Copies of this chain bind each other. A is one copy, B any other.
């Protein structure tokens, strides 16, 4: 409605089209797979095997990321990872993505290229090209990414059964520790230069900045796990979701959780004067996977961290013994 930007819509689409179609997705990659991408009213995909699994996820500046701690390339990569992780959480294989971008009018060509480069890096890792989208003007950068994939037998949250083991795939707590390291740096006024960080701190900051979506592990859990969810908002919250959806109690084992904490997490938590367990239970954005399934079907790369019992909600079995205590919390995307 108001003043003009330096970048026209046509120029922006050209930049995105060129950058998203480079590298692994160049030279007919899409066409060979029957994918029709950018340049029409909608994208076209070939007939998908099995059932289609489909998600949408928004990552907004000021809510999910701040540009002082993430480059636009990293923010775009992270947004794409978060969206793809929803498919990992269903045991699905991602096929393609569309992204609706909101861009402030000051955005430059170089910044837009960085955004597309960040998306492509993650898209290549999962063979899941960004084949279309939408552009809108706004005050903040926003990525709303929809991902389509397929699964022979998608894994839901609501099939967990009493008697199942609870499995953790990937690490939890490190991303939250990394964010706190950046916040502490800022509070101390030394800025986000991060030169003084030790290797453990650097590992945690990297876990927050460059998370991985565990799509292959997710697919390998089909036929083994009964219920699956990704840990975007903290283990306590996700365990609660599985418990509610399945009508069971997900009982996490404190001793097993503490044992699974990485040395880097323990070191950083100690330096921040936080219990690593707090970060594991309530810290988000790691994109690990939480599953439940029969003990005999547990893959070697899944860590048993509890069991499913009759009852309701997520609970923690204290390491020192005594009655399980109820876990609350999680991230509220409207309030927080």
Contact = CB atoms under 8 A, between A and B. Distances in A.
Interface of A: 1, 4-5, 7-10, 12, 34, 36, 39-48, 50-58, 60, 62-64, 86-87, 89-90, 92, 96, 98-100, 102-103, 105, 132-140, 142, 144, 146-148, 151, 154, 156-158, 229-230, 245, 332-336
Contacts of A335: 4-5, 8-9, 105, 137
Given A45-B54, A148-B148, A334 B98 contact: no
B157 A63 contact: no
A336 B336 CA distance: 32
Contact of A86 (B41, B47, B157): B41
A33 to B, nearest CB: 12
A138 to B, nearest CB: 6
B58 A90 contact: no
A42 B87 contact: yes
A58 B12 CA distance: 16
21 contacts: A5-B335, A12-B334, A42-B87, A44-B52, A45-B54, A47-B48, A47-B51, A48-B52, A52-B52, A56-B99, A57-B100, A60-B137, A63-B137, A64-B136, A100-B100, A103-B334, A134-B144, A134-B333, A137-B333, A137-B335, A137-B336
Which one of A39, A52, A136, A334 has the highest number of Cβ atoms from chain B below 10 Å of its Cβ? A334
Given A137-B333, A336-B1, A51 B44 contact: yes
Contacts of A158: 39-40
Number of copies of this chain in the oligomer?
2
Nearest to A45: B52
A170 to B, nearest CB: 15
Contacts of A12: 334
Nearest to A218: B41
A41 B137 CA distance: 28
A12 B335 CA distance: 11
A1 to B, nearest CB: 7
B156 A36 contact: yes
A80 to B, nearest CB: 14
A7 B60 contact: no
Given A54-B148, A135-B333, A136-B63, A89 B42 contact: yes
Given A41-B55, A53-B44, A63 B333 contact: no
A9 B334 contact: yes
Given A54-B98, A60-B137, 10 more contacts: A9-B333, A36-B154, A40-B90, A41-B87, A44-B154, A57-B134, A63-B138, A105-B334, A105-B335, A144-B144
B56 A144 contact: yes
A9 B178 CA distance: 26
A144 B145 CA distance: 10
B334 A132 contact: no
A278 B58 CA distance: 38
Given A36-B156, A42-B89, A44-B154, A133 B333 contact: no
Contact of A52 (B47, B144, B333): B47
